[in-house]
Amino acid sequence: MLAKSTWQREVTILFEADDQHFTWMLGGAAQTAGLRLPPGGVEERPVIEMLQRLAARLRALDRVGIWMIVIDNEVVGLCGQKQAPDSDGTVEIGFGVASSRRGRGYATRAIAELINIASRDMLVHRLMAETAVANIASQRVLERNAFVRTGTRSDPEDGELIVWHRELAVQG
């Protein structure tokens, strides 16, 4: 699945990450169709491995879950759905941009595209995300994309988290 958005003269493309892409991001030799990674890579190895497993689980459910955020043929980040829609049509999303590529609006544009994709899915009615209390940049990304802070929760691994929701207007 491919989604494009033009904003500030750059094209943000969300490109489905398959096993070959994950292998490549982990340092293996795989076909990348001309893609390149930023200095330092796109994310730490354990995160990429976790996302690869998540993407495989979602593909087994016939769902697309993880997209690469691509700017000028460079994979600058990853975003996606963390699970299939629950019984209420809620899907949790997550996103991250390579540390060397932050502060350029890539996450904001990618989440806008993720919202467009989810809006075309008749099973998805609401998106949910969580951010660390100290992660102001991610909070701003969600605010710019009309997510509303709905509460907090404490996680043993990640500490205090802010919970966000966004209702979707389903498109045909």
2-123 folds as: Aminopeptidase (3.40.630)
pLDDT of residue 29: 75
Is residue 118 within 8 Å of 91, Cβ to Cβ? Answer: yes
pLDDT, tens digit, for every residue of 82-141?
A: 999 999 999 999 999 999 999 999 999 999 999 999 999 999 999 999 999 999 999 999
Query: Is the pLDDT at 23 greater than 70, yes or no?
Result: yes
The predicted model gives 47-62 an average pLDDT of 95
Q: What percent of the chain has pLDDT over 70?
A: 90
**CA distances for 65 relative to 47, 59, 137, angstroms:** 15, 7, 23
pLDDT band at 5 (very low <50, low <70, confident <90, very high): very low
Q: In terms of Cα–Cα distance, which of 31, 108, 106 is closest to 71? A: 106
Query: Is the pLDDT at 165 greater than 50, yes or no?
Result: yes
pLDDT of residue 144: 98
pLDDT band at 65 (very low <50, low <70, confident <90, very high): confident
Least confident of 1-10, 29-38, 136-145, 160-169: 1-10
Token digits of residue 47: 């995160």
Residue with tokens 């955020």: 69
Note the pTM of the prediction, 2 decimals: 0.89
